[in-house]
Structure 1
Amino acid sequence: MTTIPHEKPGEPNPLHALTLDRLRRRTSMKWRTYPEDVLPLWVAEMDVPLAEPVVRAVTEAMELGDTGYPAGSAYAEALAVFAGKRWDWDGLAVERTAIVPDVMLGVVEMLGLVTGHGDAVVVNPPVYPPFYDFVRHAGRVPVEAPLGADARINLDVLEETFRRVTTGRRRAAHLLCSPHNPTGTVHTADELTAVAALADRYGVRVVADEIHAPLVVGDTRFVPYLSVPGGERGLSLMSASKAWNLPGLKAALAVAGAGAADDLARMPEEVGHGASHVGVLAHTAALRDGIPWLDSLLTGLDANRRLLAGLLDAQLPAVRYRPGDATYLAWLDCRALGLGDDPAEVLLRHGRVALTSGLPFGTGGAGHARLNLAASPEVITEAVRRMAEAVGRAGAIRG
């Protein structure tokens, strides 16, 4: 794993820190959507305590009453340093950034800068369901260019889709998920360079959701889209939200390539007022001082990937699971279980374990479910036990 040197070694694995009883005291979506007998491994919240630098930054803000509007460039400066050390990328120019409320609202703003009402926005399903919802809400039309059977971008399909949506000189955008949610695929430099070449050939503007970028494990290297040849006309959305479990402290950054600076400059300044100032402080602290915590988390997530693979192999061998190199999400192919298009519904009903249904992820989602790996090994072990029990119960009912 490419890491920034630890400031203090031996940071404990945050996935081991909290008991279920303590977690159930939380009032967020993950812990309040289902009854207490349901084990929730669905929405993208992690079962971790916050990194100490984040807690300190938020506490100091509360003590000062520092709860106004966000200002300054500290968030962008911290991200630029992080990108240079973590990804060997020194091309994140602070002057080509802007604070946005969160990644998806930032996506909407970026699409508004480079496309018009009714224009196509290409997505690569199975993909994060809000891509469809937010694109439609923005008055654009989502158009699918499905991933290949290997869960990677199918460049032939992508080119054909670009050609089709730009016929008649129509504007179009490609909403790129990098790393990819739900598969955990990390796009390579060659793949991203090919995407950029196709986008240039057909006049398609690329908007990259790179929120999972810090969550890459092992020897795999995350490559920022704006860093590849041809990526200069792209726009990226980045945030510390996913990696440090900060969705309730909203803030993100829009980052423009050198060829998209004029586009970003047209975004109204007031958009940045929608971010939480306390969120900006928290995200900045995470990027600056929360690296040891992140490294310990990644070690724990990597162990959880291996744990899940072993548990499935032993108890549910019909489930196909290809561990991804990024995110804390596991994409489970449950089609061989005979549970129909929505196995998550069956597992919830018969096993009292909540996964995310694959159906809203678009083409390729039927028969699949997404499992959140950011939990203790004990919770994951219990979840798989419940899943196996649910499959047995469902089979007995069918029989």
Structure 2
Amino acid sequence: MTKLEMKEAVIKAIDENKEKLFAVRDQIYCNPEFGYKEVKTTDTVATYLEQELGLSVEKNIAVTGCRAQIEGKTKGPCIAIMGELDGISCKEHKDANEIGASHTCGHFLQITGMLGAATGLVKSGVINELDGLIDIIATPAEEFIELEYRDQLKKEGKLTYFGGKQELVKKGYLDHVDMAMMFHSQDLGEAQALIGPESNGFVGKKIHFIGKEAHAGSAPYDGINALDAAMLAINNVNALRSTFKESERVRFHPIITKGGDIVNVVPADVHMESYVRTRTIKGLEEVNERVNRAIQAGAMAVGAKVEITEIPGYCPILKQPEFDEVMKKNLEALGLEGKIVDGGDFTGSFDFGDISHLMPAIHPMIGGIKGGLHTKEFEVVDEELACIIPAKAMAMTIIDLLYDGAKGANAILKDFKPKMTKEEYLKFLQKNDRTILYGEG
């Protein structure tokens, strides 16, 4: 088959299996699960891969993830197509379940697109004409939530890092992968797709201010007010905001998770959480240290102690223009010409950013939804655009990359230099996995 004939074949196969894909989509949507708890979701994905595509599925990777491998006619580069399994908490959404879990980040659409791309390549027989390997990877725990639960899993030795893709890298599941792709839903207004997004990275912080109790009415001077220390810490960081470089797109957004025990006792046990987000790794390291000094100064001012626990967050998403261009051309061929935005500025964070520091990786944003992510307004308004178009585009991109001796993939890989090796990446995570004590002794 010619390359064009292959693309026509995968499009046809995806269209012929559209209703089956929608059935999987709906089943996942109606059963949202939080990270590292995606048991039903993973079973749904694995069942489809096994029963519909005849693939062997490796389960329980990075706790609750799974993967299947599709082999081409000869050896060549390995390309991963990823989709995320977990839901998010949004209690106000009309379809949230009894604990407030929902799929208002669109991960159910990613999984459908991932399965659709695999369906097109397998059921059309096109995979037998390509040179390389495709990993279909359903990844757990993209949303950085339920940190106490994840910390317990860490203590039990079931994981090292809180993010699903961090775990996949740590445990070697991506050691053989050369390139990766996935997509994410986004309300793009009149546009239908966005190529080459950039995002912030972040480090998570859990902060414990320790003071001294005293009667708040009759003897407040005998206490040390840990809540005052926390408020001063927040104000100290606010005083730094004008000094942050605009190019770093810095974000610090704390919440007080415990402000004290009872109103007539000086608060001695106060807890705060926040992220520090920036556009670059260098900026993250610099801003994070300045934020730590501001927090310590708040404690120092009132004589309190403070414990700062840092949790490795996610790296910024990096652009890969040559790879992005391949995806863009396929989206245009599917009818999106003139409706694709080049480049986007996202100050949120995605754990796919970590992957982009290690290998050529693309993360286009796809429309078909209305309303903000993680909000009660989220809804799918164009199911074809939301998951079928990206399924076709990813399958077509695989063809471009692995056709004719994988010339497309090899051309990209030849000039690619990763920002970090796996070893450097793991050292970076370890560096940000620490606890800092101030005020002891």
Of the two, which has the highest radius of gyration? 2
Pick the structure with more strand per residue.
Answer: 2
TM class, shorter-chain normalised? under 0.3
The alignment's TM-score, normalised by the length of structure 2, stands at: 0.24
Q: TM-score, normalization: structure 1?
A: 0.26
